[in-house]
Amino acid sequence: MTKPPVGSNRTGRKLGQKVKKGKLKASSRRWIERHINDPYVQRAKLEGYRARAAFKLLEIDEKHQILKGARRIIDLGAAPGSWSQIAAKVTDSSDEDIRVAAIDFLEMAPLPGVKILQLDFLDPAAPDMLMEAVGGTPDLVISDMAAPTTGHQKTDHLRTMHLCEVAAHFAVEVLAEGGHFLAKTFQGGTERDLLNMLKQNFRQVIHVKPASSRAESVEMFLLAKGFKGRRTRLETVADDQDDP
């Protein structure tokens, strides 16, 4: 069971530490202080995860069981790799039998059992390269992609929503029947067309915000469960067109 860290942080490090002013800007100092005093950051170090984001995936899975039975997983926007660490563990992926493919335009340190592509997911070659890397049909596509922020909330929302939409269409093209799709989005409204597309292709579509996602953050996650399958989807569309 994934529980939020409370009370003792189990690392021996005191919470509430301050950063000396020095030459740091006030905003930078506040960010560092928040980071070093974040119990999820400390717990990630204790448990060997590369980032606190690991607990977002674990908490979502605890409630929605998206990792259960997954045999192959594709991780989009994977750096620094904490979701890929979990994916490799649940799929029993190894360097001899790769079952997890990860992609990010940022460099990632190697991970056992993970084929890492340093490439922009929007590159036209990326989808085929991911499918070749994962070695079969994935049961789960996860995306923690977010566009670099500009400071303009509406622009940042639109850019990240575009990544979410591209990831969703990719998932529909590659997932095994019964598979799941999870992607980061931002509060401010998910595009109606995207939600409609997902509802046509998956049995359940919901928004989730795990406890480990900072309360002040505008991030949420869009979860689509139970992919209906491409043949079923095409038949459904045909049936709809045949209806008077």
For 123, the enclosing helix (H) or strand (E) is none
Contact 198, 168 (CB under 8 A): yes
Known catalytic membership, residue 199 = no
Q: Which of 184, 209, 225, 228 is catalytic?
A: 184
Contact 44, 35 (CB under 8 A): no
**Tokens representing 170?**
């990719």
Place of tokens 């084929």: 115
Distances (CA, A) of 242 to 189, 197, 228, 232, 236: 33, 19, 20, 15, 10
Any residues with CB less than 8 A from the CB of 212 and at least 6 apart, and which? 4, 40, 52, 53, 55, 56, 59
Rounded Cα distance between 87 and 11, Å, is 25
For 57, the enclosing helix (H) or strand (E) is helix 54-64
Of the chain, the end-to-end C-alpha distance in Å amounts to 50
> Could you give the residue numbers annotated as active site?
184
